[in-house]
Structure 1
Amino acid sequence: MTAIPLPDTYKTINRLSLILLLITYIAFINLGLADTMRDVAFPYIRSTFSKPLEASGLVLLAGTIGYMIASFSSGQVVTWLGIGRMLALSVTLRAIGLAGFALAPTWEILLLVSVIIGLGGGLLDSGANIYVAANYGATPMFWLHAAFGIGATVGPLMMTGLIERLDQTWNVGYVVASGLHIGLLVIFIFTLKYWSTS
């Protein structure tokens, strides 16, 4: 296989490793996309649930609680499951949470699924960082965080386009984000056996 040299680490990336690296980049694009849609969507969300503007802080707090729990326990989770299953679990939680966010019938359920989204986000963030740092080095790690930035840019644009251009509700944006995570889960399932050998 053709190897790509990384001058900063003197490591090489074979074809399989490159594919897995690209999957982590796609995962981080999804992470950034879904996490930043809320800023555009919240004025419409609060209208749906008849909440004041400052209620956005509760949504953020709920997500942060989930994220912190996942981050603090990520070392144990990766020991139990391995990196591939941990990443698959993370996108499963986020797919469920994002779908639940879109379909939440009450404010309390919206806050609950925000915790689930945060749990998935914390595991995905930790897992991808662990994997890239251990297997690729500094330059790919830089691009991992750049991938998050791409998603963070696209997310608000997508939500704005759905609401203002296509006349859709904010819920549709979260359904789309959930669908993207389901697609990513399928990719993780099909590549699961390769993560421990890369």
Structure 2
Amino acid sequence: MYSLLLAIIYIAFISLGLPDALVGAGWPVMHQDLGVPVAFAGVVTMIIAGGTIISSLGSERITRRYGVGPVTAVSVGMTATALVGFSFSGSFWMLCLWAVPYGLGAGAVDAALNNYVALHYAARHMNWLHSFWGVGASISPFIMGYFLGVGRGWETAYLVVGGIQVAFTFVLIASLSLWGRATPKPEVPEGGSEDEDGSRGQDDAPVLLAHALRIPGVVPILVAFFAYCALESTAILWASTYLVEDRGVAAATAATFASLFLLGITAGRFLAGFFADRIGDKQLLRGGFAVVGLGALLLALPVGTNLLALVGLVVAGLGCAPIYPAIIHSTPANFGHRNSQAIIGIQMAAAYTGSTLAPPLFGLLSTWVGTWTLPLFLLALVALGLLMSERLNRLMAHGAGADRLAARP
């Protein structure tokens, strides 16, 4: 049953990633069909991310009350309904309407699943599971590119992806009986991921937001997560438009090429799973941000060929690969099991705050200055994420654990 549940979780992570790149891949055509400026892509993603912030902050209470399995099934069902709704949207305001259930569904399942995996599985599984998120996120631009190429339109792509999500929903409903069964205890890394009182379980009282934010190291990792997800969502949304407007690539081709960034994330997480337990989350974070910076530099080089830009997308994706899993997986070790669900929920909110603000902010920047600034925008976010993750490392190295224990109510 343990292996079967793990397979179900892999399916759930595919469903998390499947819709994420659709807006960015199809927007060069969608905004023309809907009669809105190109910068309006940020409005749709802002609404989606706003819903995830709300549901992420409430994820601890929801998950404690209903359980991880039901929350996952209902949330994927909500995103499936929203994607089908997107396919029938003939105006921009309808896209905005369907973005609401999409965001609310995505936030709760993201926090619940990530905490479940962080508590019950080793770092290698966290990376491989997030690699399967990349599988889903990489497939959807190919679906969009295919239907745009054959003249079926972006609406058909949304309908197909929505249908896949419906099938995933039924699989998750059928698996509900597995989630409450015992799974192997999590591996305790050197330094301990147990709660400071030596217990492994979580009591029934939710961790208050104000208390979680007072724990040393929480604010720096929230800012680092904000920066990472800001750069990831901006690259996913605007890479296709950057290739069309600044590199002269055809829209259907750009939708496919933009998936190279996601393919880099997917391949990188699969490879990272083989050595994540040996290297450790700290080094994965540090190296990941550095490689993303290299990819952004390649993307920015003003040369007469698109080859370096495409290589830069892959390199940036490879650098992104270990960052998200490392932040999530290290949360119980850094802050204790009792606090992990609440802090991961807040991390999801910080992540989607980055996803909310960064794409429309870059949309405004591209309107004023031009989409050529995309690599520079990504580099600024890399610097912020690296600075804050190193701040967390210093706090952990100088006895933040003892301060954390003293700060507990």
TM tier relative to shorter chain: 0.7 to 0.9
- Taking structure 2 as the reference length, the TM-score comes to 0.43
Write the distance in 1 (CA, Å) between the matches of 2:101 and 2:79.
Answer: 7
Shift of 1:122: 1.2
The letter of the residue matching 1:69 is: I
Show CA shifts across 1:95-119 (max 9, x none): 1111111112432221121121111
Distance across 2 between alignment mates of 1:174 and 1:96? 11
Residues of 2 paired with 1:139 and 1:156: CA distance? 27
Take 1:91 and 1:190, find their aligned partners in 2: how far apart are those partners?
13
Give the conservation status (yes or no) of the 8 Å contact 2:47–2:99: yes
- The CA distance in 2 between the partners of 1:191 and 1:31, in whole Å, is 17
Pairing of 1:59-70 with structure 2 (within 5 A): 59-70=44-55
Counterpart-to-counterpart distance in 2, 1:145 and 1:188 = 18
Matched, 1:176 2:133: no
Q: How does 1:75-90 map to 2 (within 5 A)?
A: 75-90=60-75
Distance (whole Å) between structure 1 residues aligned to residue 160 and residue 131 of structure 2: 22
Q: Secondary structure at the match of 2:18?
A: helix
The percentage of aligned residue pairs carrying the same residue is 32
Structure 2 residue aligned with 1:189: 173
1:139-196 Cα shifts (integer Å, max 9, x gaps): 21111111112222222112101211x3211011111111111111111111111111
Contact preservation (8 Å) 1:67, 1:121: yes
Preserved contact between residue 21 and residue 132 of structure 1 (Cα < 8 Å): no
Distance 1:189 1:151 in 2: 20
Structure 2 CA distance for aligned equivalents of residues 83 and 157 of structure 1:
31
Structure 2: gaps of 5 or more residues = 183-409
* Partner in structure 1 of residue 284 of structure 2: none
Equivalence map 1:1-40=2 (5 Å) = 16-40=1-25
Equivalent residue, structure 2, for 1:159: 144
How far does the alpha carbon of each residue in 1:25-53 deviate from its partner, in whole angstroms, 9 at most, with x for none? Answer: 22222222211011111122212210010
Greater alpha carbon shift after TM alignment, 124-133 vs 174-183: 124-133
CA contact (8 A) 2:73 2:169 kept: yes
Is residue 107 of structure 1 aligned with residue 77 of structure 2? no
Shift of 1:91: 0.6
Deviation larger for 177-186 or 126-135: 126-135
- Matched residue type, 1:104: S
Residue 141 of structure 1 aligns to a residue whose secondary structure is helix
Query: Residue 135 of structure 1 aligns with which residue?
Result: 120
The one-letter amino acid of 1:196's match is: G
Match of 2:83 in 1: 98
1:44 aligns to what? 29
Structure 1 residue 74 displacement after superposition: 0.8
Which residue of 130, 134, 147 corresponds with 1:145?
A: 130
Q: Which has the larger displacement, 27-36 or 75-84?
A: 27-36
Decide whether the 8 Å contact of 2:8 with 2:175 is kept in 1: no
Contact 2:51 2:107 in 1 (8 A): yes
Which residue type is aligned with residue 137 of structure 1? A
Counterpart of 2:127, as a letter, is: F
Instruction: Report which structure shows greater RCO (CA 8 Å, sep ≥6).
Output: 1
Partner of 1:74: 59
* Alpha-carbon distance between aligned partners in 2 of 1:137 and 1:119, rounded to the nearest angstrom: 28
Q: Shift in Å at residue 17 of structure 1?
A: 1.7
Q: Which residue of 2 aligns with 1:54?
A: 39
Alpha-carbon shift at residue 90 of structure 1 (Å): 0.8
CA offsets, 1:74-104, max 9 Å, x none? 1111012111100011111101111111112
Q: TM-score, normalised by structure 1?
A: 0.86
- Comparing 183-192 and 40-49, the one that deviates more: 40-49
Checking the alignment, whether the CA contact within 8 Å between 2:15 and 2:76 is kept in structure 1 is: no
Q: Give me the whole-angstrom Cα distance separating, in 2, the residues matched to 1:171 and 1:127.
A: 30
> Which secondary structure state, in structure 2, belongs to the residue aligned with residue 34 of structure 1?
coil
